[in-house]
Amino acid sequence: MGVSALVWTLTVVLLVGLTLFDYFFHVRKSHTPTLSEAAVWSASYLGIAILFGVAVMIVGDVTMGVEYFACYLSNEALSVDNLFVFLVIIGSFAVPRVAQQKVLLFGIVVAMVARTAFIFLGAAFITLFGWAFYLFGVVLLITAGNLVRPTASEGRTADLAVIRIAKRFLRTSDRYDGDRLFIVENGKRVMTPMLLVMIAVGGSDLLFAFDSIPALFGLTQNVYLIFSATAFSLLGLRQLYFLIDGLLDRLIYLSYGLAGILGFIGVKLMLQALHENNVPFINGGKPVPVGEVSTTVSLTVIVVILVITTVASLASERGRVQNTVANARRHATEYLDRHYEVDPVEREKIFNRLLGEEDQIRALPTKYRVRIRESDELMELLERAHRAHDGYNHA
């Protein structure tokens, strides 16, 4: 692996220390994070990840540093797609805002442990089987194709098998009590939905490991770099959730960007597999003289795709409309749910955000306004939120 046991130990200690610090000094005391707080923490974790990459370049070499940053950026891009699923799960379970940080941290820790196992399994698989890169390449190309399909982002749900099993065989409650995992109901100790949400978030991330881990092995075979890049990208995921929470629906071209990245890495893996070929029925088991793609080129391609995707999404009028409508629907639903936020001041902030989004909807071009008004479900939801607000103020 090219890295000493001491370096591995120090890296693991650093990551565990950051996780514990995050929990005891930020997550343990339940609170609703502000936008500025999320921005500071996101910037801090991004800075730590960058400093680590610089240290890799200094202690190791430039090639290792480039491989680390390529893995980190790819993982970070794929992690943003994770956030869509996290949003669906948290919304499906109506998790109170004040408890969401603990849910996300738990899910991220589970993901970190699981992905570490997948990384070492992937490394062993590559070592034992010479055709592994062919398989990884095919997996990435299929995944890229699925991402550009119109239905690729639909049907996301929190109805995981593990959740159905837990609800059937374990005593669970339908109500939250802050961020507590267990409460006493009718004299019996039962689980709150918090634990189920944590299981759902952690379980959903396992599905993403099947895409991300092969992609990272397409950028480098250095297990230490894959592990560290994965860990640092996951550590900043919770803060990123709260930072771009209201912008997720605006990234309408993200799936195409991810498809481009995964497709590119898939082709890179296939070329590498052909270059090192030992499969008997391909070219008689001899290497095929094909070109290879350097990690520097890979990093450049990843950066260019991410920049184009992000800029195109943010500049898209359809993206702005979709994001405004999604945020209005979300804030109306949050305001109507008395358990989501109990602080009157925070509830008023949610309603004010809803008013701002309704103003944005009224300022949209006519064709979009007409289409939105034809959505009876959305119009009825907004009216209910206003009636609830008027009733609360007159109470």
Per residue in 109-160, pLDDT (tens digit) is 888 888 888 899 988 988 888 788 898 889 889 988 888 775 444 334 444 5
Paired with 282 in beta bridges are none
Whether 207 shows a pLDDT value over 80: the answer reads no
Main-chain dihedrals φ then ψ at residue 16, nearest 5 degrees: -65, -40
Q: Which is nearest to 122 in space by CA: 218, 199, 7, 192?
A: 218
- What's the pLDDT score for residue 334? 83
Q: How confident is the model at residue 15 (pLDDT cuts 50, 70, 90)?
A: very high
Asked if 183 and 192 touch (Cβ cutoff 8 Å), the reply is: yes
Mean pLDDT across the stretch 335-360? 86
Mean pLDDT of 318-337: 87
What pLDDT is attached to residue 158?
A: 47
Predicted local distance difference test score (pLDDT) of residue 239 = 81
Q: Where are the domains of the chain?
A: 5-305, 318-394
The band of 16, judged by pLDDT with boundaries at 50, 70 and 90, is very high
**H helix intervals, 60-130:** 62-92, 100-128
Q: What is the mean pLDDT of residues 243-257?
A: 79
d(CA 349, CA 334): 11
Contacts 24+ apart (CB under 8 A), 221-224: 221/123, 221/126, 222/1, 222/2, 222/3, 222/64, 222/67, 223/1, 223/119, 223/120, 223/123, 224/1, 224/2, 224/3, 224/7, 224/8, 224/11
Higher pLDDT, 249 or 253: 253
With beta carbons less than 8 A apart as the criterion, state whether 85 and 160 touch.
Answer: no
Lowest-confidence region among 27-36, 148-157, 342-351:
148-157
pLDDT digits (tens, 9 = 90+) for 157-183: 444 555 566 566 666 766 777 667 777
The answer to whether residue 305 scores a pLDDT higher than 90 is yes
% helix, strand, coil for the chain, step of 5: 75, 0, 20
Phi, psi of 272 (to 5 degrees): -65, -40
Model confidence band, residue 312 (pLDDT cutoffs 50, 70, 90): very high
Angle CA 83–89–91, to nearest 5: 100
Query: What is residue 152's predicted lDDT score, i.e. its pLDDT?
Result: 41
Give the whole-number percent of the chain exceeding pLDDT 90. Answer: 23
Beta strand 182-185 with 188-191 is: antiparallel
Query: Which of helix, strand or coil describes residue 184?
Result: strand
Q: What is the pLDDT of residues 258-297, one digit of tens each?
A: 899 999 999 998 988 888 888 888 888 888 888 888 888 9
Question: What's the alpha-carbon Rg for the chain, to the nearest Å?
Answer: 23
pTM: 0.80
| HSE toward the beta carbon, residue 192, CA cutoff 13 A | 16
57 to 7, 236, 247: CA distances (angstroms): 14, 21, 34
354: its two tokens: 């809803």
Mean pLDDT is highest, among 223-237, 244-258, 333-347, for 223-237
CA distances from 227 to 83, 114, 212 (A): 20, 11, 12
Q: Per-residue pLDDT averaged across 327-336, rounded?
A: 88
Mean pLDDT of the region 3-31: 86
CA atoms within 13 Å, Cβ hemisphere of 368: 16
Predicted confidence band of residue 231 (pLDDT cuts 50, 70, 90): very high
